[in-house]
Amino acid sequence: MKINKRLQTIGDLVPLSSYPLDIGCDHALLSIYLVKEKGITKAIASDNKANPLKKAKENISFYQIKDKVKLIKAEGLDSYQEGVDTITISGMGGLNINIIIENNKKNLKHIETLILSPNNYSLAVKRKLTKLGYHISNESLVKENNIIYEILVFTKGRKYYSYKKLFLGPILMIKKDDITKEYYQRQLETKKSLLKVLPKSFSNKIRLTKKEIRYLEEVLNH
């Protein structure tokens, strides 16, 4: 089946024996990929809007897997069903992902793995999940249409991270591949531009931005 590199990478990080729930499924292609190509026996795809679910229903019918992919119309984590142990959320802003998690965090009780791909504010997502008792077990970057997408895998179990590790990503910071370097280089440019326009009265933000620039330069020059 046809699926973009970003969704395929997320799908390939889903544990093979899991019962996954995709929140904000839109077309449901991720759940379809998991069942059709990865041998996952059952999956749930959920969205809070009717139009995406209509598209998802058509796709599930097209691939003839109605018995394996359940569609649910619900707000965020309200779509949790007993037995689900893995959650994927992608293609949304990091703050929206955090709201979804915060609003119904009791439903995380049986969730072993979350694979989250925020379009922005990934540091806020990392902070939220580590506070909730998860650690970062994998980090991956995918470049598509000149956009670099970050994919974070959180696994149950607490770990302490320094600000530097959380900001750079504990796994990304030891990768030396071209995409990671480009990702850090882009962040460095953004931080340097931000520093130029920050008003003097924003002293805390200036201090933090300078610290982040130093971390990025260190990891890039190491």
Phi, psi at 140, each rounded to 5°: -140, 150
Least gap, CB of 140 to ligand SAM (angstroms): 14
Under 8 Å between Cβ of 19 and 46: no
What's CA 26's distance to the chain center, in Å?
Answer: 15
Residue whose CB is less far from ligand SAM, 46 or 180: 46
Q: Is 51 exposed, middle or buried (0-12, 13-18, 19+ CB in 10 A)?
A: exposed
Contacts of residue 7, Cβ cutoff 8 Å, sequence gap at least 6: 29, 30, 33, 90
Residue whose CB is less far from ligand SAM, 96 or 137: 96
Residue whose CB is less far from ligand SAM, 120 or 185: 120
Least gap, CB of 73 to ligand SAM (angstroms): 9
Site residues (CB under 6 A) for ligand SAM?
Answer: 7, 23-26, 47-49, 52, 75-76, 90-92, 96, 100
Residue whose CB is less far from ligand SAM, 91 or 170: 91
Least gap, CB of 135 to ligand SAM (angstroms): 23
Cα-Cα end-to-end distance for the chain:
41
Least gap, CB of 36 to ligand SAM (angstroms): 17
Residue whose CB is less far from ligand SAM, 86 or 167: 86
